[in-house]
Amino acid sequence: MFPNSILGRPPFTPNHQQHNFFALSPTLYSHQQLIDAQFNFQNADLSRAVSLQQLTYGNVSPLSPLFRGRKRLSDEKNLPLDGKRQRFHSPHQEPTILNHIVPLSGDRRYSMPPLFHTNYVPDIVRCVPPFREIPILEPREITLPEAKDKLSQQILELFEACQQQVSDLKKKELCRAQLQREIQLLFPQSRIFLVGSSLNGFGTRSSDGDLCLVLKDEPVNQKTEARHILTLVHKHFCTRLCGYIERPQLIRAKVPIVKFRDKVSCVEFDLNVNNIVGIRNTFLLRTYAYLENRVRPLVLVIKKWASHHDINDASRGTLNSYSLVLMVLHYLQTLPEPILPSIQKIYPESFSPAIQLHLVHQVPCNVPPYLSKNESNLGDLLLGFLKYYATEFDWNSQMISVREAKAIPRPDGIEWRNKYICIEEPFDGTNTARAVHEKHKFDMIKDQFLKSWHRLRNKKDLNSILPLRAAVLKR
């Protein structure tokens, strides 16, 4: 993301293979601290910046404090070689070490010229808590299901070609870590979490990166407070990081975000503020993803199918990817012989909203695989999924609930009235499919389920509903 993002080489050395996405628990921000952050940004005077030792990334310094933009200062000539900004192909450049991305309690370091006047030097020891290594364990090894028929084989081949690779995840994590360092110049106690499909087990090679900026461990007003914070972040991107971030755009949605693209990795990112439920459901879905070996291939092919038929875009009034995943999980839970249970019912303590954020990443490791007696192959499950939502599910009176592992009656609350599709968010109970608010879009979605089910039932060829060559090229 920034000039020393070494994305062409592995961002982890052999001794640092474990991820540290969730190393710290978030701390509270007061209203006055938000005002201070704005003051820090608006009154930044780099010409009077204090020359402090820079934050090292491994043994590489991302940005020397003697830089102003991309221009070298004459003082740099007198620096030892280790203190200069390393070039991409410098023989002195060493692999990045992710474990060093957060300043330790004894280090007073900055990644770029501080955005404060000389008479205001924040206490890094106080602002950034000591770094604690809480690694995310790699998901358990699961063997992919056997494919004895053509349709199942096509689904497996698509999955293997398009699933997100470890290298893709490492690129996103490297960007997250570097971006966190920069945003901590505005909000020293903040943390950035990688969430969504990049981390929940259902990502593809082309998946965007979803980021959550956490300032406090309680909800913020998304219409006022979150927008104000993102406005500061957006300004920071446009003025300080424009050489490394392109197309930053503030989207004033119900949950406002800043969209941007990292020029080095070419990954698109969406950044929100304190959407805590997104962190919790990331690891709920991650648990389901690795609970049974048919789940991930089935979800991927359905997401590809929905995208191909233009029913996978909440900004255009159709289904978002999260809703599609919940629809697949619900279907697998409601089969006569279920393939998935409700893990929130079986392990209520593990998925309690009271669990601190810096501990939620441990949950998937504590849930053992689920052994289902259902032996349906992937092709039959895809056909059954299309048939279920085309002919069996009662859209008018029922709500999809993964938490309950069944269809339940629609609530009477105002959020559920006049909604065409009702899908319960497993933690906060909101409607994840609220974007589908126009009848013709709802009819288009239902029609696509019905047409695709008929076509696939007759031809038993995935190409009849999803051109595989084009899908693989899109990754």
Residue of 39 and 432 predicted with greater confidence: 432
User: For 306-331, how does the pLDDT look when each residue is reduced to its tens digit (9 = 90+)?
Assistant: 999 999 999 999 999 999 999 999 99
* Cβ–Cβ < 8 Å for 436, 319: yes
Give the CA angle between residues 134, 122, 241 to the nearest 5°: 75
* Cβ–Cβ < 8 Å for 298, 333: no
109 vs 117: CA distance, rounded Å: 16
Cα separations in angstroms, 458 against 151, 156, 358, 384, 392: 12, 20, 49, 13, 19
Query: Listing from the earlier edge strand, what are the strands of the sheet with 268-273?
Result: 191-195, 209-214, 268-273, 257-262, 245-251
Amino acid identity of residue 348, one-letter, is P
Q: What pLDDT band is residue 30 in, cutting at 50, 70 and 90?
A: low
User: For 176-221, how does the pLDDT look when each residue is reduced to its tens digit (9 = 90+)?
Assistant: 999 999 999 999 999 999 999 999 999 999 999 999 999 987 889 9
Count Cβ atoms within 10 A of the Cβ of residue 112 and give its class: 0-12 exposed, 13-18 middle, 19 or more buried: buried
* Cβ–Cβ < 8 Å for 385, 326: no
User: For 153-173, how does the pLDDT look when each residue is reduced to its tens digit (9 = 90+)?
Assistant: 999 999 999 999 999 999 999
**pLDDT at residue 78, as a whole number:** 43
Which residues have CB under 8 Å from 423's CB, separation 6+?
A: 323, 326, 327, 330, 399, 400, 431, 432, 433
Q: How far is CA 153 from the centre of its chain?
A: 29
Q: What pLDDT band is residue 348 in, cutting at 50, 70 and 90?
A: very high
Tell me the CATH number for domain 150-473. 1.10.1410.10
Cα separations in angstroms, 410 against 206, 413, 417, 421, 429: 35, 9, 9, 10, 12
Does the pLDDT at position 284 exceed 90? yes
Candidate from 70-74, 236-240, 293-297, 302-306 with smallest mean pLDDT: 70-74
User: For 54-82, how does the pLDDT look when each residue is reduced to its tens digit (9 = 90+)?
Assistant: 333 233 333 333 333 333 344 444 444 33
Q: Can you point out the beta strands (E) in 340-402? A: 398-401
Does the pLDDT at position 274 exceed 90? yes
Count Cβ atoms within 10 A of the Cβ of residue 190 and give its class: 0-12 exposed, 13-18 middle, 19 or more buried: buried
384 vs 474: CA distance, rounded Å: 26
**pLDDT at residue 393, as a whole number:** 98
Cα separations in angstroms, 101 against 62, 135, 187, 277, 463: 10, 14, 16, 25, 45
User: For 117-151, how does the pLDDT look when each residue is reduced to its tens digit (9 = 90+)?
Assistant: 333 323 322 232 333 333 444 556 678 999 999 99
Report helix, strand or coil for 233.
Answer: helix
- Cα Rg of the chain (Å, integer): 24
Residue ranges per domain, the chain? 150-473
| pTM of the full structure | 0.74
**Closest by CA position to 464, among listed 473, 447, 452:** 452
Report helix, strand or coil for 99.
Answer: helix
Does the pLDDT at position 417 exceed 90? no
Cα separations in angstroms, 396 against 307, 330, 402, 412, 429: 24, 17, 18, 13, 18
Which residues have CB under 8 Å from 257's CB, separation 6+?
A: 230, 250, 251, 270, 271, 272
